[in-house]
Structure 1
């Protein structure tokens, strides 16, 4: 069975995060935690707005470094935007089995994002772990190599307890 591709979901997530970065006033509330591992480096975006107060932290770690450094907001969001702009994405259906690691040659991003826009009837929530690829062929080849080793999503929508598409 071929893996489920998530290019459509990441294509809708990308402009939402751009809106959050550029025009946060259109959101009533949000709680976002993004962790991107790419090219051996790490970028983390944590931002929350509740009861009118915004608390944000943007930091990263350079490849082969153990020192975390604060990043400018624009730099952190640009890294996430580049990842979401890749040609294809797969997703994990569950936590990795003990001892399993994701191939560092392929960027991956944990996304936990809930928000409510002003005037919207209810909040939306997403919790996923994406793996990015240049194109669909790369994604399918990766899935074939990882078969039985990684819990990749095979059917959509993913609606597990911890990891889920929009709900």
Structure 2
């Protein structure tokens, strides 16, 4: 299996998320939830806009303590933006069933992992668009390909694009 690479997709997504972060009034509605995990730290960036009102919450959680700490929008988005600025990405297929049929994931914290659930409707758009993907971030194409080769015997990575399943999907 050859894993699909997502650098182009994430580059386009980052442009859209930068706009949501800086000028939410350009959108009629949106619902954005981002969980970014790496090295025992979880950042959550959550914002929604409906009927002209924007509500947001941003927090971080340390794995060791499990305690949540509210952070500024800038701090949370800087972490997300740094992740989205990495060189290459793989995406998880949502199929985390192990050999024994139990649910589980191969994400072990070696690579930054970012789950993004996003629905938006720009002013004037006839209908909303949505996406839901879980990305693994890598600094280079070579690092991404090497990781994909190491886990080639598991069905966890997306291997064809565009990808659509019940759990995760590219734009629809």
Mapped to 2, the partners of 1:71 and 1:96 lie a distance apart of: 31
After TM superposition, which residue ranges in structure 1, 4 or more long, deviate above 4 angstroms?
none
- Alignment map for 1:10-49 (pairs within 5 Å): 10-49=10-49
Q: 1:112 to 1:50 in 2, by over 3 A?
A: same
Pick from 122, 130, 147: which aligns with 1:142? 147
Structure-1 residue corresponding to 2:126: 121
What residue in structure 1 maps to residue 135 of structure 2? 130
Match of 1:65?
Answer: 65
Cα distance in 1, alignment partners of residues 95 and 42 from structure 2: 19
Q: CA deviation at 1:126?
A: 0.6
Q: How many residues align?
A: 167
Partner-residue secondary structure (3-state), 1:75: helix
Identify which range, 144-153 or 42-51, moves more after superposition: 144-153
TM-score (norm 2): 0.92
Report which stretch shifted further, 96-105 or 51-60: 96-105
CA RMSD of aligned residues (A): 1.3
Q: TM-score, normalised by structure 1?
A: 0.94
Q: Matched residues in 2 for 1:63 and 1:126: separation?
A: 27
C-alpha separation in 1, matches of 2:153 and 2:134: 17
Residue number in structure 1 paired with 2:111:
106
Asked if 2 retains the 8 angstrom alpha-carbon contact of 1:5 and 1:90, the reply is: yes
Q: CA-to-partner distance for each residue in 1:82-117, whole Å, 9 max, x for gaps? A: 111100000011142323340212000000001011
Distance change >3 Å, CA 80–CA 119, structure 1 → 2: same
Structure 1: 5+ residue runs without aligned partners?
A: none
Distance in 2 between residues matched to 1:86 and 1:62, nearest whole Å: 22
Contact 1:92 1:153 in 2 (8 A): yes
